[in-house]
Structure 1
Amino acid sequence: MAAEHSVDAAGGERGSAVVDFVLVGGLLTMFFLAIIQLALVLHVRNTLIDAAASGARYGTLADRSAEDARRRTGELIGTALSADFARDVQTREVTFQGLRTLEVTVRAPMPVIGLIGPRDMLEVKGHAAVGE
């Protein structure tokens, strides 16, 4: 009788390993995709910061202007990511700790699913000192 009981118990749990495999596999897949998306968001943010800072430095050269900085920033972003990320690039002169600086501001979409996301959620700024 005890032998029958153990056979029934083993037969009753026959399909649970398949369910566990599917659930754990799905969970690990979602976790992996979330990490990849976070890495993409950080890549986009760092690329925008670098482009804004490079554009600001370019605009402060002796023979360049703020418009050149805006154009250069847009070109860098368009080359590295997409022209959609370079739609809102603004420049202005500000005073920071007593120094005249050129500030380049980029507002871009926050990539939520791949590179698709809500507009103007990500704002970065780059600065460079204006030479006298």
Structure 2
Amino acid sequence: MPAVRHRGERGSAVVDFVMALVVLLPLFIGLLQLALVLHVRNTLSSAAAEGARSAAVAGATPQDGVDEAREQIVGAVSPDYARAIRVEPVSIGGAAAYELTIDARVPTLGLGGIAIEFSVSGNAIREEAP
């Protein structure tokens, strides 16, 4: 026997679907945005640490660290995510070191022109030539 529906309930499934979608779609997009930002931040953090280590090797230059970080970024994510890469000499516990900093800009999903900006850095103590 077919299900009997009252005339007043016609189209209620569509309304229920839209009401659930209004809540669930922004939640899903927010989770995707969080995953993208965390992935990019972790990738850039790793590239900054590796670049600082490359710059700190005996006989290397700070530009070697920048090149290594840029190579890591291009290999893992888009080079557009790294706006600026810079290396600065610092002192860590009295030892000469390099700090490589990467400024990033991750665009938000679905919102043109708005972006999440952050910086990551990596440190490495410079090796002395023998």
Count of aligned pairs: 124
CA distance in 2, matches of 1:61, 1:120: 33
Q: CA offset at residue 20 of structure 1? A: 0.8
Q: Which residue of 2 aligns with 1:70?
A: 66
**Percent identity over the alignment?**
43
Q: TM-score, normalised by structure 1?
A: 0.80
Q: 1:25 and 1:113, CA in 2 relative to 1: closer, same or farther beyond 3 A? A: closer
1:60 and 2:53 correspond: no
CA distance in 2, matches of 1:119, 1:130: 35
The amino acid of 1:91's aligned partner reads V
Map 1:105-116 onto structure 2 (within 5 A): 105-113=101-109
Q: Which residue of 2 aligns with 1:19?
A: 15
CA distance in 2, matches of 1:12, 1:19: 13
The amino acid of 1:126's aligned partner reads G
Deviations 1:88-117 (A, max 9, x none): 100011012222211001111133127x76
Map 1:1-132 onto structure 2 (within 5 A): 10-113=6-109, 121-132=117-128
CA distance in 2, matches of 1:68, 1:76: 12
CA distance in 2, matches of 1:105, 1:29: 35
SS in 1 for 2:107: coil
Instruction: Extract unaligned runs of 5+ from structure 2.
Output: 1-5
CA distance in 2, matches of 1:17, 1:47: 44
Q: TM-score, normalised by structure 2?
A: 0.81
SS in 2 for 1:121: strand
Deviations 1:56-97 (A, max 9, x none): 011111231111001111111122112222341000110122
SS in 2 for 1:63: coil
Q: 1:34 and 1:19, CA in 2 relative to 1: closer, same or farther beyond 3 A? A: same
Instruction: Extract unaligned runs of 5+ from structure 1.
Output: 1-9
Which is richer in strand? 2
Greater CA radius of gyration, 1 or 2?
Answer: 1
More deviation in 53-62 or 82-91? Answer: 82-91
